[in-house]
Amino acid sequence: MDTDLKEEISRLPEVPPDAAMAYKQHLGEMVEKVNNRMRRRPELDLLIGGNPVSMMFDNHRNHGLFMSNVFSLNEYALLLNTIPWVYRAYTGRGFSFNYFPAHLQTWRDVLEETLAPDSAACLDAVYGWMISRHEKFIQLSKQSHDRTMEPDAQWRPVYEQFLQGLLSADRQASMAVAKKAVPDLARLNDFYIHVVQPAMYAVGAMWERGEISVAKEHLASALVNRVMAVQYIELMESPEQSKGKAVVTATANEFHEIGAAMVANALEADGWEITFLGANTPSEELLEYVSASGFDLVCVSITVPFNLESIQNVIQAIRTWPEGRQPKIMIGGQAFGGYPELPQKLGADGFAENPEQAVALADQWGKAIC
């Protein structure tokens, strides 16, 4: 993280809860206004590099959600990784760097017009700061990608073959690599952490640079899901004795589910009774389900920072339950990369970086639960 920027954001005004709430409440309306103003700009085609206008609308929606999280959590550090990423991802697809100050200035105008002056003023200071650091964010966006993962030397050949299989849509080759590398459950977590995870990060980096299409990325995800399903069916055994009941899911609006599935499978292999809910479980539904079924452990995955607030809401709701009925809450996923203090700030009992750590932490808690 850039130290000068880190210093600067520490001086930005803290957003009062009512201003954060006003931003959230008016979000739909503000996105609409920003979309309408931006689409009318005569130089739009140049700004968005001839891309469909829906791609720009997507960014406005994601930007609004993200800023809403930044304001509600009062966590400006999130800006420092995310803004360079947004610059890189969109310019990789042909957007001009000039698009960013243009849309941020439009947000400023819309904020001023939509919110009460007090609320608008402190949020405006943050937007003003983002615009003033445009050149710096361009520079940062051109630096190395932070979302790649160097595979362990021992696993590199398997990783390379697996990645090749994914990129060339070769189902049989991917399956064969997985079968050979994971003859039994003991190798499963290593395969997840040293092969599948870096391979999917590489796929993501290629997508981010505009080197592969969304279709190719979808295909890689689908293949990984199939490989994991086959491994699950062939290798998973019923435990003799349950270590406890755990539910694993990705939070509301979170469509990334492969990491959560790995955690679910790793815990199940370790003897936990697992309910895996997959992606995008609405918070209210999750709370109802956990409350009705009496789980010992709730594991939630978050990849994109604009979904952080939803897990905070879930945690806060669980904390109001009678003590004996409160499950342990473990969180994980890429949204926490570079923010070690965030899981605690959100109120979770613990954070784990990967399935291996998740198993170790759950086992540590399990002893206390049982």
Region near ligand B12 per CB under 6 A, out of 8-16, 71-79, 155-163, 255-263: 255-263
Q: Is 201 in the site for ligand B12 (CB under 6 A)?
A: yes
Please tell me the distance from the alpha carbon of residue 22 to that of residue 111, in angstroms, as a whole number.
10
Nearer to ligand B12, 19 or 250 (CB): 250
Nearer to ligand B12, 13 or 92 (CB): 92
Contact 265, 246 (CB under 8 A): no
The CB density around residue 167, as the number of other CB atoms within 10 Å, is 19
Q: Is 209 in the site for ligand B12 (CB under 6 A)?
A: no
The CB density around residue 367, as the number of other CB atoms within 10 Å, is 8
Q: Which residues contact 18 (CB under 8 A, 6 or more apart)?
A: 119
Residue 170 Ramachandran class (φ > 0 left, ψ -120 to 50 alpha, else beta): beta
Please tell me the distance from the alpha carbon of residue 305 to that of residue 82, in angstroms, as a whole number.
8
Smallest separation, CB 117 to ligand B12 (Å): 32
Q: Is 260 in the site for ligand B12 (CB under 6 A)?
A: yes
Nearest one of 361, 302, 285 to 337, comparing CA atoms: 302
Q: Is 366 in the site for ligand B12 (CB under 6 A)?
A: no
Nearer to ligand B12, 121 or 169 (CB): 169
Q: Sort strands 273-278 and 245-250 into parallel, antiparallel or unpaired.
A: parallel
Contact 39, 30 (CB under 8 A): no
Q: Is 193 in the site for ligand B12 (CB under 6 A)?
A: yes
Q: Is 31 in the site for ligand B12 (CB under 6 A)?
A: no
Q: Is 227 in the site for ligand B12 (CB under 6 A)?
A: no
Nearer to ligand B12, 286 or 330 (CB): 330
Smallest separation, CB 46 to ligand B12 (Å): 21
Pick the binder of ligand B12 from 68, 69, 72, 82 (CB under 6 A): 82
Please tell me the distance from the alpha carbon of residue 15 to that of residue 180, in angstroms, as a whole number.
53
The CB density around residue 245, as the number of other CB atoms within 10 Å, is 18
Q: Is 51 in the site for ligand B12 (CB under 6 A)?
A: no
Region near ligand B12 per CB under 6 A, out of 71-79, 117-125, 151-159, 203-211: 203-211
Q: Is 75 in the site for ligand B12 (CB under 6 A)?
A: no
Q: Is 57 in the site for ligand B12 (CB under 6 A)?
A: no
Q: Is 89 in the site for ligand B12 (CB under 6 A)?
A: yes
Pick the binder of ligand B12 from 68, 91, 161, 197 (CB under 6 A): 197
Pick the binder of ligand B12 from 78, 140, 181, 263 (CB under 6 A): 263
Q: Is 211 in the site for ligand B12 (CB under 6 A)?
A: no
Nearer to ligand B12, 121 or 317 (CB): 317
Smallest separation, CB 96 to ligand B12 (Å): 18
Region near ligand B12 per CB under 6 A, out of 46-54, 237-245, 286-294, 326-334: 326-334
* CA contacts within 13 A on the Cβ side of 103: 29
Nearer to ligand B12, 58 or 118 (CB): 58
Rounded alpha-carbon distances, angstroms, from residue 254 to 11, 64, 289, 309, 355: 31, 16, 18, 12, 19
Please tell me the distance from the alpha carbon of residue 81 to that of residue 23, in angstroms, as a whole number.
22
Pick the binder of ligand B12 from 51, 96, 253, 326 (CB under 6 A): 253
Q: Sort strands 328-332 and 245-250 into parallel, antiparallel or unpaired.
A: unpaired
Rounded alpha-carbon distances, angstroms, from residue 216 to 59, 141, 151, 161, 202: 21, 24, 21, 17, 12
Q: What residue ranges bind ligand B12 (CB under 6 A)?
A: 58, 62, 82, 85, 89, 147, 192-193, 196-197, 200-201, 203-205, 207-208, 217-218, 221, 253-260, 262-263, 299-301, 303-305, 330-334, 352, 354-355, 358
